[in-house]
């Protein structure tokens, strides 16, 4: 489902409080594509310019004895502009009449206009008054805000409607937080409220905010990857993680750097549809997998976006239920919404030839999103990346404090055999999810997609007459984007800028997201290298104690 940004006060929405019902909270002018003050200026200017141009042309035709009914294209355009602007300006005076109908349809928001009895601040909830503790004193509020808090506490105003009704996202968060404090009796001391741009998350990142959580961001690097150096931002509260990854980056840098390869790039969405019989479901399966039909399905799918390009359709039958896994490229966006729109276009198109098709859900878990699934491990989802490096034997001894043969043996017994003994699904690694999640939070990705994005198999072997260590990580489903979602927030955008991949690539759509995926894989490579060497050298507990407990000076800790 697409979420649309609600209009803020900057969009010219007057939001009076505690006024008469005539001062409605939801304006009919909200339906205009531009803020009403800008729209009024636009149409007024269009009316005056069109009228002036037509009058001057009329005068010129009279002077040259040119028939008035012979019109040029510019004159026709001016007439159209004049008529359109005139219709708008006349209709504008009827907005108040239309508004009366809209206002009556939204009873919840109209509650903001009703002024509760001015009998002082509302009393604390009963469970607070009846307890041994004294009620927590109310935060100083204006009279208007006090009335709104009281209405939220009593349930007269739904908390989720505050941003839309007030037109001030920071004010809405403060009122919601105070109402929550009075309802629960919890102060929430330490949860920051000020210092955040709440307008930036409205309609796309978080609903009903009451503050924001601070997560420290560390930097590991430089990571030498594909002949470029990157300083990798990692948001985490786990001690030793950034330091350990940093040590892996150092080992890679001293050995000449790592190399990455994008194997596949395609986001997936798999709807589930149902028929009356399994035979009929099979007919749709054959239709979707017929190469002669794919070109038309591509055209229908690709209409959803300038960047969405259908790559393949993989079908699986479960009785009379059909699961169709659509895979498409999505440019620099992570692409979940993009592929969903394309799939919906195809389903609407198929309804013509298969009217008996019952669409159960746009997602049937054959995608598979935010869940461990073999299909993502085998087929891939998002960006499939392999990253490798040859670590010199001297670096293994000097930086990693172990030997090549010890690393190879440990990787076999731990990451391969040990994971197989546990029945792991895509978990043939030491701690890939640690690095993936830290980078995801720092760069505004969806942290829940850490589940499939952390699918990784770490391989190690001795090379160059057993003197050096070859290490690789293969990650089939890294799901990242550099536009959309949380990437547009100020802090996350700064982290993307640090990596040089902020926003969409102008030269090659999708290039920034692919580079980010390779950076994730490269950082995982560094993290695997460092943790495995710490385990091989018996340093894990010692390093964690130094970073987490024993010393405030992390510069003296050796991971």
The CB density around residue 171, as the number of other CB atoms within 10 Å, is: 19
Q: What is d(CA 523, CA 242) in angstroms, rounded to the nearest whole number? A: 10
Active-site residue, from 146, 265, 369, 446: 446
Q: What is the pLDDT of residue 45?
A: 85
Distance CA 54, CA 80 (A): 11
**Residue (of 399, 397, 428, 431) closest to 414 by Cα position:** 428
DSSP string, 172-240: HHHHHHHHHHHHH----TT-B-SSS-GGGGTTTT-SS---B----EEEEEEEEETTEEEEEEEE---TT
Distances from the Cα of 515 to the Cα of 224, 250, 328, 496, angstroms = 13, 20, 18, 11
**In the beta sheet, which residues pair with residue 388?**
259, 472
Instruction: Say whether 22 sits in a helix, a strand or coil.
Output: coil
Q: Determine contact, residues 501/515, Cβ cutoff 8 Å.
A: yes
Tokens at residue 304, please? 């959803």
Task: Answer whether 434's CB lies under 8 Å from 451's CB.
Answer: no
- Confidence at residue 218, expressed as pLDDT on a 0 to 100 scale: 97
Confidence (pLDDT) at 42: 81
Pull the structure tokens for residue 387. 């990253």
Please tell me which residue in 238, 289, 388, 461 is annotated as part of the active site: 238
Active site residue 295: no
pLDDT of residue 559: 45
Say whether 238 is catalytic.
yes
β-strand partners of 318: 321
Per-residue pLDDT at 541: 60
Active-site residue (options: 285, 370, 414, 470) = 370
Give SS3 for 538.
Answer: coil
SS3 316: strand
The whole model's pTM is what?
0.74
C-alpha to C-alpha distances, 62 to 67, 71, 76, 324, 427, nearest whole angstrom: 8, 13, 18, 68, 84
CB 339 within 8 A of CB 267: yes
Encoded tokens for 524: 């995982």
The answer to whether the bond into 318 is cis (omega within 30° of 0) is: no
pLDDT of residue 44: 83
- Cis-peptide into 368, omega within 30 deg: yes
Residue ranges of the chain with per-residue pLDDT less than 50: 1-29, 96-138, 557-559
Token output for 385: 């990346």
Cα–Cα distance list, 10 to 7, 13, 15, 34, 167 (Å): 8, 7, 11, 11, 9
Q: Which of 250, 392, 544, 546 is catalytic?
A: 544
Q: Cα 29 vs. chain centroid, distance in angstroms?
A: 30
CA 394 to chain centre: 43
**Per-residue pLDDT, 511:** 97
Catalytic site residue 388? Answer: no
């Amino acid at each position: 489902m697409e979420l649309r940004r609600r209009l803020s006060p900057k969009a010219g929405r007057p939001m009076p409080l505690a006024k008469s019902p005539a001062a409605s909270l939801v304006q009919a002018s909200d339906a205009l594509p531009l803020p009403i003050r800008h729209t009024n200026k636009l149409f007024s200017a269009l009316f005056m310019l069109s009228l002036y141009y037509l009058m001057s042309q009329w005068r010129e035709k009279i002077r040259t004895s040119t028939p008035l009914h012979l019109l040029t294209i510019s004159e026709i355009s001016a007439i159209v502009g004049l008529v359109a602007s005139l219709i708008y300006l006349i209709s504008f005076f009827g907005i108040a009449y239309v508004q009366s109908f809209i206002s009556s349809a939204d009873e919840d928001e109209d509650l903001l206009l009703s002024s509760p009895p001015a009998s002082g601040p509302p009393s604390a909830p009963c469970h607070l008054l009846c307890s041994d503790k004294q009620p927590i004193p109310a935060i100083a509020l204006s009279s208007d805000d006090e009335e709104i808090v009281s209405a939220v506490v009593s349930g007269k105003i739904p908390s989720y409607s505050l941003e839309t009704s007030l037109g001030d996202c920071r004010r809405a968060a403060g009122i919601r937080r105070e109402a929550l404090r009075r309802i629960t009796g919890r102060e929430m001391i330490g949860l920051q409220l000020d210092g955040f741009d709440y307008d930036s998350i409205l309609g796309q990142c978080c609903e009903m905010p009451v503050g924001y959580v601070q997560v420290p961001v560390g930097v590991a690097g430089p990571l030498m990857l594909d002949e470029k150096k990157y300083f990798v931002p990692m948001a985490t509260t786990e001690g030793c993680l950034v330091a350990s990854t940093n040590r892996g980056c150092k080992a890679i840098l001293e050995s000449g750097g790592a190399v990455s390869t994008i194997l596949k790039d395609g986001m997936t969405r798999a709807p589930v549809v149902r028929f009356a019989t399994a035979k009929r479901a099979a007919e749709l399966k054959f239709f979707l997998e017929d190469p002669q039909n794919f070109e038309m399905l591509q055209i229908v799918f690709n209409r959803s976006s300038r960047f969405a390009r259908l790559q393949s359709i993989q079908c699986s039958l479960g009785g009379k239920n059909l699961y169709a896994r659509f895979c498409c490229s999505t440019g620099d966006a992570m692409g979940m919404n993009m592929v969903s729109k394309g799939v919906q276009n195809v389903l609407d198109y198929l309804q013509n030839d298969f009217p008996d098709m019952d669409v159960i859900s746009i997602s049937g878990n054959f995608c598979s999103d935010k869940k461990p699934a073999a299909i993502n491990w085998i087929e891939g989802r998002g960006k499939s990346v392999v990253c490798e490096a040859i670590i010199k034997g001297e670096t293994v001894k000097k930086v990693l404090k172990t030997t090549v043969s010890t690393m190879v043996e440990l990787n076999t017994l731990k990451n391969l055999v040990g994971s197989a003994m546990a029945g792991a699904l895509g978990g043939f690694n030491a701690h890939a999810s640690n690095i993936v999640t830290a980078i995801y939070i720092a760069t505004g990705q969806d942290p829940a997609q850490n589940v499939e994005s952390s699918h990784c198999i770490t391989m190690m072997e001795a090379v160059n007459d057993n003197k050096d260590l070859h290490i690789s990580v293969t990650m089939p489903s890294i799901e990242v984007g550099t536009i959309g979602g949380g990437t547009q927030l100020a802090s996350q955008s700064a982290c993307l800028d640090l990596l040089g991949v902020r926003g969409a690539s102008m030269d090659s759509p999708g290039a920034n997201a692919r580079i980010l995926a390779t950076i994730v894989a490269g950082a995982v490579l560094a993290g695997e290298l460092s943790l495995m060497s710490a385990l091989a050298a018996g340093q894990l507990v010692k390093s964690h104690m130094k970073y987490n407990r024993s010393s405030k000076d992390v510069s003296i800790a050796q991971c």
